[in-house]
Structure 1
Amino acid sequence: MPKSMTGYGKLDYVDENYRISCEIKTVNSKVLDVSVSLPYYLSGKENLATSIVSKYVKRGKVHVKINTRFLKPVELKIDFAMARSYFEVLESIRESLNIQSSINLSDILVFREIFHSELDSDEIERLWNKVVKVLENTLEVVDKERQIEGEKLSKDLKKLVDKLMDISNEIEKYSHLLKQEIAKRIKENVEEILPENVELDANQFETAVALIADKADIREEIVRLKSHLNRCKELLNQNNPVGTLLNFLSQEIHRELNTILSKSRMLEISNLAIDGKFVNSQIKEQVQNIE
């Protein structure tokens, strides 16, 4: 069955060298939109992370947040030129505002830009390999949740499609009575207008009925409507991303129901078409959550 576009997963990993956490949220979107938040020293891996996500998610907005901590000492370097610049700026502010207290080391240490961790390429690759595993495991958690939610959505959608198919069958039944209903109404209207001693010309009557019935003929719309509904059923039994196709079909169903409603010459058909549009609006709303 199709998957839902909404899901959430969070995993933590700890070994003797690293602590890694990965949090993933997925929400509805017309296309695949992936945003990845990584530590600055892994920023060059953003495209790789996005590529990994795209193997699990085909449609939706995906927010990935990855945090890492080193549990072993990491070499730090100090940018003394920047530290001196900060000191001189702080000293200038102190003199301008006539502040009596002197500038302390703690005043400078708040500026994190003066510290730089030196990670060689081997260290980055070792960390990245760990991150990839945590990312993939988190994506599997999210994917499972999206599968479970997708099954619920598919069951609800199937019920709505079946309900709309029942309405279509009812419309089809009344459509077979359409010509008789038109003939009855024309005859009643003509009898109200014509004098009692004037007889209705049978040929003209049949021609009028045929012309109006042809304009009110909804058989093609019913065939297309049922075809769209059967296609929806097929898609809801697939394991592929079908949300875009289902959304397109719901638009086509809406179009056919509108045409039936505009052509309708029977109150029963009009009421059924309105009911069908309501059910289809529920289908369209649910489809927005399908991948």
Structure 2
Amino acid sequence: MALSSMTGFARSHGGSGAHAFEWELKSVNAKGFDFRLRLPPGFDEIEQVLRKRAAERLIRGTVYANLTVTRSGPTGDVRVNEDVLTAMLRIATDLAKRTGAAPPTVDGLLALKGVIEIVEPEASEAESEAARAAVVAAFDTALSSLVEMRKNEGATLGAVLGQRLDEIEAMARQADAAPGRRPEAVRARLAEQIQVLIETSERFDADRLSQEAVMIAARADIREELDRIASHVAQAREMLAKGGAVGRRLDFLAQEFNREVNTTCSKSNDIELTRIGLAMKNVVEQFREQVQNLE
């Protein structure tokens, strides 16, 4: 399966009878799947169908779907709401008498909300059904375009993430081969720390010295962290190759990367190892940021 990004944009147009319509779909990053749909009056019946089709093809991301419909053909009838006009006229005349204001004018009354009504010509049930079917078909077209765009961006993200993994792996090899990890370097640092311990202790305790030496040696060894980093790199490459909705799992793996690199930096008492660890931490952060865009 291909990787997919959570960001994308698509449009589609269509028409049926007197109806012309346009779909606009936009998706952005999100922890889960959220489908936000806006339909004009008269198309509420197809909402559940649209939600189901979107959920079948998208797993993560906030998707905004907006339908715009225009109607051509005969214009609607203009009618005067007699009841509203009578009530407004009575109120306006009464106020004019009480305040001495000018009596209401025709254009003023007609400008009041509710006095003028525009009644659109009613479409037959067959015409409405055909329009709804055409709208659903256009939605499928826009949805396919959105899915395709997300896959194209996913392929680009996959290549970028692969490069970051290569960099992490190369830095882990540099850390493994760093002069500060050589046995003689570790022994030298250990001897120096033991000497400081002896000089600062009032009473020499062989058992305490042995324990401290073991702890110092353990803290200086980053073999376990390097092995875990190598394992995480292998797992990440396997997920990228498999594809599909792997964004959440890769995000968890990025957190594990970060934990191991932090431990490596905290254990390091060598300038070169610290430099490599900090550089690796920067690449891991870049990896994590890109992973946030994956479905």
TM range (shorter): 0.7 to 0.9
Given residue 184 of structure 2, which amino acid in structure 1 is its aligned partner?
A: Q
Partner of 2:4, secondary structure, is coil
Aligned to 1:54: 55
Aligned to 1:199: none
Aligned to 1:6: 7
Give the superposition deviation at 1:235: 1.8
Contact 2:76 2:119 in 1 (8 A): no
Pick closer, same or farther for the CA change 1:140–1:92 going to 2, 3 Å. Answer: same
From 125, 130, 153, give the equivalent of 1:126: 130
Aligned length: 285
Pick closer, same or farther for the CA change 1:239–1:111 going to 2, 3 Å. Answer: farther
Percent of residue pairs bearing the same amino acid type: 26
Aligned to 1:258: 262
Answer yes or no: is 1:96 the counterpart of 2:95. yes
From 246, 253, 268, give the equivalent of 2:250: 246
Give the superposition deviation at 1:203: 10
Partner of 1:13, secondary structure, is strand
Partner of 1:237, secondary structure, is helix
Contact 1:178 1:213 in 2 (8 A): no
Deviations 1:123-157 (A, max 9, x none): 43322111111001111122222222222121111
Greater shift in the superposed pair: 100-109 or 137-146 = 100-109
Could you tell me the TM-score, scaled by structure 2's length? 0.81
Contact 2:23 2:67 in 1 (8 A): yes
Aligned to 2:83: 84
CA distance in structure 2 between the partners assigned to 1:90 and 1:250 by the alignment: 72
Contact 1:182 1:209 in 2 (8 A): no
CA distance in structure 1 between the partners assigned to 2:150 and 2:137 by the alignment: 20
Answer yes or no: is 1:170 the counterpart of 2:171. no
Pick closer, same or farther for the CA change 1:249–1:68 going to 2, 3 Å. Answer: same
CA distance in structure 2 between the partners assigned to 1:5 and 1:79 by the alignment: 51
Aligned to 1:157: 161
From 247, 271, 276, give the equivalent of 1:272: 276
CA RMSD, 1 decimal: 3.5
Give the superposition deviation at 1:204: 9.2
Aligned to 2:202: none
Aligned to 2:64: 63
CA distance in structure 2 between the partners assigned to 1:120 and 1:230 by the alignment: 62
Deviations 1:1-60 (A, max 9, x none): 311211111121134442121111111111111111111111232222122122232211
Unaligned stretches of 5+ residues in structure 1:
196-201
Pick closer, same or farther for the CA change 1:100–1:79 going to 2, 3 Å. Answer: closer
Contact 1:179 1:209 in 2 (8 A): no
Greater shift in the superposed pair: 262-271 or 173-182 = 173-182
Aligned to 2:20: 19
CA distance in structure 1 between the partners assigned to 2:15 and 2:254 by the alignment: 48
Pick closer, same or farther for the CA change 1:111–1:45 going to 2, 3 Å. Answer: farther
Unaligned stretches of 5+ residues in structure 2:
200-205
From 278, 281, 288, give the equivalent of 1:284: 288
Pick closer, same or farther for the CA change 1:2–1:110 going to 2, 3 Å. Answer: farther
CA distance in structure 1 between the partners assigned to 2:249 and 2:59 by the alignment: 14
Answer yes or no: is 1:185 the counterpart of 2:165. no
From 139, 143, 161, give the equivalent of 2:147: 143
Pick closer, same or farther for the CA change 1:175–1:77 going to 2, 3 Å. Answer: farther
